[in-house]
Structure 1
Amino acid sequence: MKTHDVVRERRRTARVLANAPQADLQRLWDAWPDRPEVQYLRGPEAGLVMVQGRIGGTGDRFHVGEATVTRATVLVQQSGGQSTGTSYVLGSHPEHAGLAAIFDALLAGPARDRVLAEVIEPLESAQAERDARARAQARSTVVDFFTVARENDGPEDEDDE
């Protein structure tokens, strides 16, 4: 796999784990058979990050403000060895960050295919459905405005006020 493909796949899985509801991650972890030993290398901790935007999406950068982010790093001991996982979750959600880091670590080990099939793909599908519903709901509330231009009868300018 090429480097940019690895980076793209890592971004995808990190995005899915970060955007998944904590309850879904907890349910999947509770149902996980033969759970590995998990050790926190960096316990879930919340902090602030500076958020930047771009004018027009592509122009000059500017500071939007700060956002709370929770991060966690774990070491997972599996039968095939050990692997580390890291997660960053928007908001102050230590349990969510811990669970996301565990699944991230499992993705780096021999359980990768299983995590992709049983965790990442179902969560990604559910997120796509939620996003589609939200877009449809937002679209249903769009109001199209139009302007009717008044024609002026002659050289006299009328005050519209």
Structure 2
Amino acid sequence: MGSQRVIVVMGVSGTGKTTVGRLLARALGVPYAEGDAFHPAANVAKMSAGIPLEDADRWPWLDAVGAWMRERGAPCGAVVAASCLKRVYRDRLRAAAPGGAVFVHLTGERGLIEGRMAARTGHFMPASLLDSQFAVLEPLQADEPGVAVDVAGTPPEITERALAALRTFEN
């Protein structure tokens, strides 16, 4: 993995972005940020009420995540968890990263993801928004630097698959 790249762990809610992101950052010895922490209160309130965010809601959030990437991504790289469901969101974050960004798209069977969402506590994103997330999801395209990693298995297993896939981006 290039030393200045930021790894963005992306995917629909419930795929384990936070858990895998933290494990990746620990394995790589780089800073980690939880993308949800950058959402303004209005976004959190909207999602908590079961209302999907619109693009206009996401631009300030993406800019805040991008600012963190610029500040923390160089010189050692970093990991951030952020849904980045649309290509235009990923393009915006990629432009913000000083050494570039690589995406780890956590994917999986809808039933597995829904079950994980139902089992978690203390998160503002209700399982009722999962359909809206899948509806807007644009998987990584061939010209985007990134890898798709299945979320079946334990967090350490998923992280190991991600690390192995990321080795294709080593300098």
- Say whether the fold is shared (TM-score over 0.5): no
Q: Pick the structure with greater CA Rg.
A: 1
Could you say which structure has the higher strand fraction?
1
Bigger RCO of structures 1 and 2 (CA < 8 A, at least 6 apart): 2
User: TM-score by structure 2 length?
Assistant: 0.28
Structure 1 length normalisation: TM-score? 0.29
